[in-house]
Chain A
Amino acid sequence: MAEAAESPGDRETASPRPLMRDLKAVGKKFMHVLYPRKSNTLLRDWDLWGPLILCVTLALMLQRSSLDSEKDGGPQFAEVFVIVWFGAVTITLNSKLLGGNISFFQSLCVLGYCILPLTVAMVVCRLVLLAEPGPINFIVRLFVVAVMFVWSIVASTAFLADSQPPNRKALAVYPVFLFYFVISWMILTFTPQ
């Protein structure tokens, strides 16, 4: 009979509380990426919610209307998704093969979260593209994407570099550079129709 009576504790253990906790954790990791410092937060409490949200947002924003899609081969939703996840898996495998002591999902977590600056760049580019087209438009977008590209690389290096042997950091960072370069290129050359 004691169990039948509701206590305040029962309501607190209902589903909204873990959701808020997860959202706070995701938000905290976003802040860590925007202000990269050497910290273990991303590595210790890894999760894939943030990368999923960012990947879906980026893929949705990079999608073109179906009117033009067969003419210029712009990235479709599935393509962006596949590029991001398989790129992250390839980089993770590469860093593990080079002798890194980071776990598979930790690396996926870091690489996924570090797409945040490029997602911000995508949002800014879409806003800039609402203005009139021209060389200035292109230069502004180029500048924004370049800055965010460097930011992504710096952020991911801050988290990943310590897990690599000291003499092989360059070998592990190069594929990260290529990965974010491809994503930046997709963002920069995006033209909405």
Chain B
Amino acid sequence: MAATAAPAGGARSGAGPEWGGFEEPIQGGGSAVIDMENMDDTSGSSFEDMGELHQRLREEEVDADAAAVEEEDGEFLGMKGFKGQLSRQVADQMWQAGKRQASRAFSLYANIDILRPYFDVEPAQVRSRLLESMVPIKMVSFPQKIAGELYGPLMLVFTLVAILLHGMKTSDTIIREGTLMGTAIGTCFGYWLGVSSFIYFLAYLCNAQITMLQMLALLGYGLFGHCIVLFITYNIHLHALFYLFWLLVGGLSTLRMVAVLLSRTVGPTQRLLLCGTLAALHMLFLLYLHFAYHKVVEGILDTLEGPNILPVQRVPRHAPAVLPAARLPTTVLNATAKAVAVTLQPR
């Protein structure tokens, strides 16, 4: 390594250490023997450029005629050929060293085998963990076990993205900056990774016994409740139903996560801080997903009757142009009644 690094350093400084390159047998594309017969080499290294510059200056000064130029050319051509070979070999060694380092870095960081242990699950295990994520365990005196796997949480996040897309499309959500897909992916992954990191940071402050992987797994499985609630309430547009599910299903999955964290934290203040933050964030996220991405617009029947109608035309058809916030209470009753009729109709 040192021997190959030396020519690299030498090439940069343009000085002596490049000679060290000849001591090591050169592997790969570089030739081990300098081809002295290759006299008309004009490869453009900076060394040769300087030689050429000096040569040109000397020519102008001396007011050279053809014979003198030829004489100097012949001299410099020979030297140029030699230096060209040298610089080529140095460049070649630099290339080989760089390539070796890059392939080593690539095989280290792009090696997905680092993640392989976290995907070592069976379908039955995933199923049981999904069901357990809705069952809070009361025992908080001993640290409860958290499965450190990433398959289930990752698939749940992707499922949430798909459900969110479905909800945004059926409710004709208008996204001004960006796209539906980008928003859905950004929201779901942002929540999973961001809130996990934040709670892990709080857990570090509160001396809770939990690793980042466990936090990712815990929060990921906690999204199962969100998936169920949103899947049902994006299809049955009843606000009362949503609130019921939000409390029941969302509450159960939150309680499960809170119980696990309680069992791993010591001290009432720390427990309150950590568990309160997680509970608040988790429940509020479900509320946010429902209300931000699922506006119950009055023209929802138009998706069945007139898919080719411009969305912006739906508003004047059914209601005068008023502020959406003011429209919402009156439209809720109408839309829920219509929505019940819609869902009862065979699609």
Given A83-B181, A97-B112, A171-B123, A178-B162 contact (CB < 8 Å): yes
B304 touches A135 (CB 8 A): yes
Q: What residues of A have a CB within 8 angstroms of the CB of B174 in the complex?
A: 71-73
Given A68-B310, A98-B151, A167-B122, A142-B181 contact (CB < 8 Å): no
B308 touches A175 (CB 8 A): no
A181 to chain B, nearest CB (A): 6
- Extra pairs beyond A74-B180, A135-B305, A189-B169 (11, CB < 8 Å): A71-B174, A72-B174, A73-B174, A79-B179, A79-B181, A138-B303, A167-B122, A168-B123, A174-B155, A191-B308, A193-B308
Taking the complex as formed, is B318 at the interface, i.e. its CB lies under 8 A from any CB of chain A?
no
Q: What residues of B have a CB within 8 angstroms of the CB of A96 in the complex?
A: 112
Q: What residues of B have a CB within 8 angstroms of the CB of A182 in the complex?
A: 161-162, 165, 181
Taking the complex as formed, is A163 at the interface, i.e. its CB lies under 8 A from any CB of chain B?
no
Query: Which A residues have a C-beta under 8 Å from some C-beta of B?
Result: 68, 70-76, 79, 83, 93-94, 96-99, 129, 133-135, 137-139, 142, 167-168, 170-171, 174-175, 178, 181-182, 185, 189, 191-193
Across the two chains, which residue of chain A brings its CB closest to B119?
A97
Pairs across A and B, CB under 8 Å, 23 listed: A68-B310, A73-B173, A73-B174, A73-B178, A76-B179, A79-B179, A94-B154, A96-B112, A98-B151, A99-B120, A133-B307, A134-B306, A138-B307, A167-B122, A171-B121, A171-B123, A174-B155, A181-B162, A182-B162, A182-B181, A191-B307, A191-B308, A192-B308
Q: What residues of B have a CB within 8 angstroms of the CB of A191 in the complex?
A: 307-308
Taking the complex as formed, is B115 at the interface, i.e. its CB lies under 8 A from any CB of chain A?
yes
Q: What residues of B have a CB within 8 angstroms of the CB of A76 in the complex?
A: 179
Complex Cα distance, B180 from A72, in Å, reads: 9
A71 touches B312 (CB 8 A): yes
B310 touches A193 (CB 8 A): yes
Taking the complex as formed, is B16 at the interface, i.e. its CB lies under 8 A from any CB of chain A?
no
A176 to chain B, nearest CB (A): 11
Taking the complex as formed, is B158 at the interface, i.e. its CB lies under 8 A from any CB of chain A?
yes
Complex Cα distance, B118 from A192, in Å, reads: 43
Complex Cα distance, B184 from A75, in Å, reads: 13
Q: What residues of B have a CB within 8 angstroms of the CB of A71 in the complex?
A: 174, 310-312
Partner of B166, one of A73, A75, A185: A185
Across the two chains, which residue of chain A brings its CB closest to B172?
A72
User: Which 7 A-B residue pairings sit nearest by Cβ, starting from the closest?
Assistant: A97-B119, A73-B175, A133-B308, A73-B180, A170-B123, A189-B169, A191-B307
B181 touches A75 (CB 8 A): yes
Q: What residues of B have a CB within 8 angstroms of the CB of A178 in the complex?
A: 155, 158-159, 162
Complex Cα distance, B113 from A96, in Å, reads: 9
Q: What residues of B have a CB within 8 angstroms of the CB of A68 in the complex?
A: 310
A70 touches B176 (CB 8 A): yes
Q: What residues of B have a CB within 8 angstroms of the CB of A73 in the complex?
A: 173-175, 178-180, 183
Complex Cα distance, B305 from A182, in Å, reads: 23
B305 touches A133 (CB 8 A): yes
Complex Cα distance, B123 from A168, in Å, reads: 6
Complex Cα distance, B185 from A75, in Å, reads: 14
Q: What residues of A have a CB within 8 angstroms of the CB of B145 in the complex?
A: none
Q: What residues of B have a CB within 8 angstroms of the CB of A167 in the complex?
A: 122-123
Complex Cα distance, B125 from A168, in Å, reads: 11
Complex Cα distance, B64 from A89, in Å, reads: 66
Taking the complex as formed, is B116 at the interface, i.e. its CB lies under 8 A from any CB of chain A?
yes
B307 touches A137 (CB 8 A): yes
Taking the complex as formed, is B317 at the interface, i.e. its CB lies under 8 A from any CB of chain A?
no
Residue interface mask B135-176, A partner, CB < 8 A = 1: 000000000000000010011001101100110010011111
Complex Cα distance, B180 from A75, in Å, reads: 8
Q: What residues of A have a CB within 8 angstroms of the CB of B310 in the complex?
A: 68, 71, 193
Taking the complex as formed, is B12 at the interface, i.e. its CB lies under 8 A from any CB of chain A?
no
Complex Cα distance, B119 from A72, in Å, reads: 38
Instruction: Give the contacts of B169-222 with A (CB-CB under 8 A).
Output: 169, 172-176, 178-183
Complex Cα distance, B162 from A72, in Å, reads: 18
Q: What residues of A have a CB within 8 angstroms of the CB of B306 in the complex?
A: 133-134
Taking the complex as formed, is B126 at the interface, i.e. its CB lies under 8 A from any CB of chain A?
yes
B332 to chain A, nearest CB (A): 23
Complex Cα distance, B125 from A170, in Å, reads: 12
Across the two chains, which residue of chain A brings its CB closest to B125?
A171
Given A167-B123, A168-B123, A185-B166, A93-B308 contact (CB < 8 Å): no
Complex Cα distance, B126 from A181, in Å, reads: 21
Across the two chains, which residue of chain B brings its CB closest to A135?
B304
Q: What residues of A have a CB within 8 angstroms of the CB of B178 in the complex?
A: 73
Across the two chains, which residue of chain A brings its CB closest to B121?
A171
Across the two chains, which residue of chain A brings its CB closest to B168?
A73
A11 to chain B, nearest CB (A): 35
